Amino acid sequence: MARARKLGPLIPKEFFLTSGRGTSSVSPMNAFDKALLKAGIAQCNLMLVSSVIPPNCKERRWKRIGPGAITPVIMAKAIGGPGETIGAGLAWAWEKEGRFGVVAEVYGHYDRKALMMALKDRVLEMGNTRGVELNEPSYRFEVMKVPQGVYGCVLVALVFVL
């Protein structure tokens, strides 16, 4: 009789950032699908995870992930209708001693300036809440004024590589 294999914790060793935007006259979900295509992660089975980067996890360039792969991501996405301004972004920063990183997500009806302010405030509060000092944050964001007659979606994802 075969023994069940015991799984330990999955701790990513690398991550990359990607983003995309899409529009559709059919539905908000089709706009989301097009944004995932632009980001290069539409072929993945995305698994949303919370906002901690493990120790020794290195940022890398974009990497192709095979179709159907279960892929952990921290994602910010905003969907809007004609004429609306939508924004989504991530801010990430490492604890000063490199023990871990934190990631803040912001999404909704934001322009570039409001999105940047909200990202900065949120990532800094994450450090304060944990009682740690953070290094200078990094940012990635997408903003779009949705054209008339379509739905729009913007997204930013931090993709963990297992």
Q: What pTM was estimated for this model as a whole?
A: 0.93
Q: Can you tell me the distance from the alpha carbon of 65 to that of 112, in angstroms, rounded to the nearest whole number? A: 30
Q: Can you tell me the distance from the alpha carbon of 114 to that of 109, in angstroms, rounded to the nearest whole number? A: 9
The answer as to whether 7 is a domain residue is no
The answer as to whether 8 is a domain residue is no
> How many domains in the chain?
1
Q: What is the pLDDT of residue 6?
A: 73
Residue 82: give the domain boundaries. Answer: 15-55+68-161
Contact status, residue 74 vs residue 80, Cβ threshold 8 Å: no
Helical (H) or strand (E) element with 24: strand 14-24
The answer as to whether 5 is a domain residue is no
Q: Indicate which CATH number applies to the domain containing 75.
A: 3.50.20.10
Q: What is the pLDDT of residue 1?
A: 60
Q: Can you tell me the distance from the alpha carbon of 69 to that of 98, in angstroms, rounded to the nearest whole number? A: 29
The answer as to whether 21 is a domain residue is yes
Digits of tens for pLDDT over the chain (162 positions)? Answer: 667 777 778 899 999 999 999 999 999 999 999 999 999 999 999 999 999 999 999 999 999 999 999 999 999 999 999 999 999 999 999 999 999 999 999 999 999 999 999 999 999 999 999 999 999 999 999 999 999 999 999 999 999 998
The answer as to whether 142 is a domain residue is yes
The answer as to whether 40 is a domain residue is yes
The answer as to whether 102 is a domain residue is yes
Please report, as a single letter, which amino acid is at residue 100.
F
The answer as to whether 4 is a domain residue is no
